[in-house]
Chains A and B, each alone.
Chain A
């Protein structure tokens, strides 16, 4: 039982990371109708900049600020120079262009930092484990990630439902031309939204830095899961991204933890062991297929988009 609760926390933590990534991606798609495959590159840039600044300054917070701002600025430049040309093109062109950006950023990172993975440590004030319940010791840093994730979710909720900017963004998602005709600077709005999405990805990258290897190509492994999340949640919906991320995090973690035992009980233990690893890694895709079979537009589909 204690182990199960601990695994729930693990699932929650993975889910929160995925939420940070997918919130940005789903925003950009929902509002600008752009498929941005290079989203993982901003995750990587955030981690690399933060690791470098942290190493030289000794301050994790400074590293985080630097990682977010550098990634945000690069993101906005990319939006202004490249993505703007793509808004009126079809999705295949967007996929090709942003796929090219992945190669560009990976190679650029390799030129600047080399192939050597960077070192990034947990700040001393977040190091160690805490006892959440009697008998469950959990790493403090992972708890902090969960906390940050919920804060961000709350922030996004308030931003969209309570502010004028949020209202404009929602309106822009529904009909770009009308919003522009009403006098809203839609170009600036798009740049800001893209910057926000990029900074969320960079935040995920910075927080992943102390746990994972900071290395070239780190963005691609999380990008695939992120796409699964936004497809399950309903493309364009932040609420859906939140639900989808937690769902994927839980299913992936619990699948890895309990499938070997369950399969060994059902089948012979040897067969169960060989089957469990591949099935555990497939579990989220099976869940995606199942959800799409009943809700083809995801759990929280965005309504009333112009059919164009």
Chain B
């Protein structure tokens, strides 16, 4: 045996040694999320919320050591698919999570859950995967896409607004948003406009909107699009004339920091808020602020809940992912202290939860945040659950 062979062999032995040592101890969790592009902060918050839960358990979730591997999908469905393949084949990951956007989710989730991998969604909840396309290995810990819009639809009707103008980007979640809003809104629709995804200037849309004289505006423009829209809405002097409504995605704490006073007073729908009064949430908000130096967004809360949910199921099977059926049973129980308080899974493994409307306020420190106004739905079940037959 020459020297070269000896070295190669010993190197291989060392590698196998470390690999198997890892395999015996920690469970790998693969996170595919959006960290680049303008929407990069969404994935960053999901990841940071998830990591906070792991850090609080000293590297463990549910007393089981875990290893989190994170990769950026760049908001591209194709890239998301590649990463999922790599995680499953190379890293032998059996639990996936993290996807932010519904179009990426549609490309990845149906395929991975069929190959006996568990997927826990901390954000995207496209309607197609909640109804007929549901799967026993797919759990959504956030919401079904329509839910937050439904709450605002209900609230707007209750407040007797009767001529609402609707704006959303032209992509699947935009359509889900308008559908969700209309499901509970009973009044007249002054106009309905779909804009290009990623559009930055809304002058033309605002002029057209003003001419229709609606008594309220409902818009769903996540991330940077929302910042642009809210600023321009205020600059056109419309925020003093026509009240603005939206889902929480248009008013997360990061957006609020970038739009300032322009959003104060706006009502938005959410399943979570930093001022929700329960012990788990208080602990989470304080720990998040301490660790990262910023107020958590709803995305961070979803990442955190996702980690705790996975932890509760890992604990039930003692970290042995071969017991897939037991793991699934345990996930289904949702036996974890959610920062939302009430939390359970419905028939389609989507949340049955309370949904609130919040108001944007400037707090005593001059920071912009949300405060809960009222609970709109109690134990709300999404509209697609009954179509899900296992």
Contact = CB atoms under 8 A, between A and B. Distances in A.
Contact of A139 (B40, B193, B204, B237): B237
B162 interface: no
B3 interface: no
B224 A117 contact: yes
B200 A115 contact: no
A122 B224 contact: no
A115 B201 contact: no
A23 to B, nearest CB: 19
Contacts of B231: 210-213
Contacts of A118: 258
Given A139-B236, A257-B204, A273-B192, A115 B211 contact: no
Contacts of B63: none
Contacts of B40: 115, 216
Contact of A117 (B170, B201, B207, B227): B227
Contacts of B261: 121
Interface of B: 37-38, 40-41, 44, 170, 192-196, 198-201, 203-205, 207-208, 211, 224, 227-228, 231-232, 235-237, 254-255, 257-261, 294
Given A115-B40, A221-B200, A257 B207 contact: yes
18 contacts: A7-B207, A13-B203, A116-B254, A116-B257, A117-B224, A137-B236, A137-B237, A139-B236, A141-B235, A142-B235, A212-B200, A215-B224, A218-B224, A221-B200, A260-B193, A277-B194, A277-B195, A281-B199
Interface string A128-152: 1100000001010110000000000
A218 B170 contact: no
B44 A115 contact: yes
A215 B236 CA distance: 22
A256 interface: yes
A22 interface: no
Contacts of A121: 260-261
Interface of A: 3, 6-7, 10-11, 13-14, 115-119, 121-122, 127-129, 137, 139, 141-142, 210-218, 221-222, 253-254, 256-257, 260, 273, 277-278, 280-281
A129 B255 CA distance: 24
A278 B259 CA distance: 28
B194 A217 contact: no
A218 B258 contact: no
Nearest to B43: A115
Contacts of A212: 200-201, 224, 227-228, 231
Given A10-B203, A129-B236, A212-B231, A117 B254 contact: yes
Contacts of A7: 204, 207-208
Contacts of B199: 281
A217 B37 contact: yes
Contact of B237 (A115, A116, A129, A216): A129
B232 A214 contact: no
Given A10-B203, A119-B258, A213 B227 contact: yes
Given A129-B237, A277-B196, A119 B259 contact: yes
A206 to B, nearest CB: 15
Listed from nearest, the 6 A-B pairs whose CB atoms lie closest are: A213-B227, A10-B203, A117-B258, A213-B224, A277-B170, A281-B196
Given A10-B207, A117-B254, 7 more contacts: A10-B203, A11-B204, A212-B224, A213-B258, A217-B37, A217-B38, A221-B200
A274 to B, nearest CB: 8
A99 to B, nearest CB: 15
A14 B44 CA distance: 32
Contacts of B294: 116
A119 B257 contact: yes
A213 B237 contact: no
Contacts of A119: 257-260
A253 B203 contact: yes
